[in-house]
């Protein structure tokens, strides 16, 4: 049996035991030396398996590595498929792939009737006007947001003036035609929004920003609520992206 097959096996064995099992027992069950078993466990862990080992006790596989069976109502399936189709059609390539990948995973753990529901779903996203392509990789922005890292941006505002600045990115807003990255701007010492298609370059810095993302979001919402509006009778949430320019106030 090749090593890769053995790893699949080990996973199944671990899944079967819910009580801790000693490495020696596992090694015996799989037919391999103890030394090799330790290496195998390390391999699985490297792939994200949360296998916990305690001295004197043994190993347990914590859930969360493999996707358990899932159950949904037909309407929930439709909602998931529709949402994923929207992402697949309207977001950048990486996210689009991720949406399809997530659907595929869900489909694999669905009972057959629901899987059929998923495959035959008749809710479609109509292609819209083409979205301006980004000069930079949007996945980088998401990664910076996820890991709360600072970004050094080269940005061209609506008037064409370009600038360089460091921002603390904490959100991405998807409009029909445009995407805005929202962050705290060190240059302006204030919140700013940046159209992703106007970001000429973005470099993720080593430094993490000092505030938690959730708190930035919360503060930003308050800030936004308090902002004077050029057209106050339009609800703030409905303002088109240009109404909140990256830097026209500068």
176, 168 Cβ separation under 8 angstroms? no
| Residue 166 Cβ vs its own copies, minimum distance, rounded to whole Å | 18
Q: Does residue 217 belong to the site contacting its own copies (CB under 8 A)? A: yes
Q: Minimum Å distance from CB 237 to DNA? A: 24
Contact of residue 111 among its own copies, DNA, none (CB under 5-8 Å per partner type): its own copies
Token pair belonging to 14: 């671990």
Query: Which residue stretch of 63-71, 153-161, 200-208, 223-231 sits at the interface with its own copies (rule: CB under 8 A)?
Result: 63-71
Is 65 a binder of DNA (CB under 7 A)? no
User: What's the rounded Cα separation, in Å, for the pair 43 and 17?
Assistant: 19
Distance CA 25, CA 57 (A): 12
Handedness of CA 229, 232, 236, 238 (dihedral sign): negative
Site string for its own copies, 12-51 (x = CB under 8 A): x--xx-x------------------------x--xxx-x-
Q: What's the rounded Cα separation, in Å, for the pair 45 and 40?
A: 9
Which member of 13, 29, 38, 109 binds DNA (CB under 7 A)?
Answer: 38
Residue 135 and residue 200: Cα distance in Å, rounded? 6
Residues 166, 172: contact at Cβ < 8 Å?
A: no
**Residue 206 φ then ψ, to 5°:** -65, -40
| Site stretch for its own copies (CB under 8 A), options 125-133, 149-157, 158-166, 198-206 | 125-133
User: Considering Cα of 219, then 221, then 227, then 230, what sign does the dihedral take?
Assistant: positive
Q: Which stretch binds its own copies (CB under 8 A): 19-27, 154-162, 172-180, 222-230?
A: 172-180
How many residues of this chain bind DNA (CB under 7 A)? 24
Is residue 48 near DNA by the rule CB under 7 A? no
Determine if 246 is a binding residue for its own copies (CB under 8 A). no
Identify the CA nearest to 245 among candidates 167, 166, 191, 169.
191
Binding site for DNA (CB under 7 A): 2-4, 6, 21-24, 32-33, 35-36, 38-42, 53-59
């Amino acid at each position: 049996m090749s090593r890769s097959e053995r790893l699949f096996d080990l996973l199944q064995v671990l899944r079967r035991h819910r009580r801790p099992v000693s490495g020696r027992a596992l090694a015996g069950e799989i037919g391999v030396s103890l030394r090799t078993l330790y290496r195998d466990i390390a391999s699985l862990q490297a792939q994200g398996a949360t296998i916990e080992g305690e001295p004197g006790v043994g190993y347990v596989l914590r859930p969360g590595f493999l996707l358990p069976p899932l159950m949904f109502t037909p309407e929930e399936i439709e909602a998931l498929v529709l949402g994923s189709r929207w992402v697949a059609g309207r977001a950048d390539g990486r996210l689009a792939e991720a949406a399809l990948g997530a659907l595929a995973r869900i489909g694999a753990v669905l009972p057959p009737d629901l899987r059929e529901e998923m495959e035959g779903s008749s809710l479609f996203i109509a292609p819209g006007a083409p979205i301006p392509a980004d000069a930079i990789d949007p996945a980088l922005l998401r990664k910076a947001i996820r890991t709360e890292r600072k970004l050094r941006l080269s940005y061209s505002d609506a008037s064409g003036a370009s600038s360089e600045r460091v921002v603390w990115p904490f959100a991405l807003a998807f409009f029909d035609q445009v995407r805005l990255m929202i962050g705290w701007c060190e240059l302006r010492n204030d919140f700013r929004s940046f159209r992703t298609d106007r970001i000429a370059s973005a470099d993720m810095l080593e430094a993490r920003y000092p505030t938690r993302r959730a708190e930035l979001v919360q503060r930003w919402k308050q800030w936004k609520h308090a902002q004077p509006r050029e057209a106050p009778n339009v609800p703030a949430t409905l303002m088109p992206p240009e109404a909140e320019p990256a830097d026209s106030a500068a």
